A and B are shown apart, each in its own frame.
Chain A
Amino acid sequence: MENKSSSSLVPGFGLSFLVVSILNGILMIVKESNEGLRKWMAGLLGHHWITHGVFVIILFFVLGWLLSRVDYDEKWYGAKTAVIVLVGAVLGSGIIVFSPLF
């Protein structure tokens, strides 16, 4: 029981990474195209990038903790979560790299 509870952090934080990595890219695009949001974020913690970073890191931990409450079947403790991490990294990085096109 203790092992199972500890291991649910693996898919929970893997899924959290997927969501936050994509949101990180989307927030970058929205922030760059919306001067009001950029100024609001800069006003909140002194610089838009600091607010962006704090938001991303806190969201990763909160979402990871919440998603770790879910019961996952065996598939989530191997290839499935590995693919989720890879997709999160490729999509998150891709959105950022191709952001000048948006």
Chain B
Amino acid sequence: MPEVGLLMAHVLFGVLGTLIAVALFFDVLHLSPSNIERIRQLSLAAVALFVLSYFVGGYWYVVHYAPEKALILAGPWPWAHNFFMEVKEHLFFVILLLALYLPVLVFDKQILEGEGLKKITLTVLGVMVVLGLTMDGFGAIIAMGSKVATLAKIAAPAMGG
């Protein structure tokens, strides 16, 4: 079942990207010449992780999701796909765009001058953290939708269904 590994890698990259966004938020709060290089390196790591999560998750969604979608839709939680997956697959682009915007901010030569760029960077990171956690929660609900559908399918013959 290599596709399960792909799905776990998608989650892992997304969670690590979100954790880096949390770390960056607090690093940027204490922005100074001593931590700017770490901030820049971590921002590139966040971009790499969200892009990897996008490609791995996208490949899994396009190639492997169809049978699971049919299972969820036939199960007791069809809204796990109809709402949560539909929203998640498009909300992901918002967090991806913010991740791509992040290096524009932290590599700017004026970031250490004044509070302006710091405010924008904190806003971007704050939204990334909220969306990252939302993605994670939505993924859990979709997985649960698949699980309850599988359990219902297994239980149906025993229950005489």
- Seen from chain A, the residues whose Cβ lies within 8 Å of a Cβ on chain B are 3, 6-7, 9-10, 13-14, 17, 20-21, 24-25, 28, 32, 46-47, 49-50, 52-53, 56-57, 60, 64, 74, 77-79, 81-82, 85-86, 89, 92-93, 96-97, 99-100
Interchain Cβ contacts within 8 Å, total number = 98
Number of interface residues, chain B, beta carbon within 8 A: 34
From B2-10, B34-42, B116-124, B145-153, the one touching the partner chain is: B116-124
* B1 CB–A CB distance under 8 Å: no
A82-B119 contact given A7-B110, A49-B61, A96-B87, CB 8 Å threshold: yes
Assess whether B127 is in contact with A89, with CB atoms less than 8 Å apart. Answer: yes
Query: A-facing mask of B1-25, CB < 8 A → 1, else 0?
Result: 0000000000000000000000000
Query: A-facing mask of B48-92, CB < 8 A → 1, else 0?
Result: 000000100010011000000000000000000011001101110
Assess whether A78 is in contact with B115, with CB atoms less than 8 Å apart. Answer: yes
Chain B residues within an 8 Å CB radius of A50:
58, 62
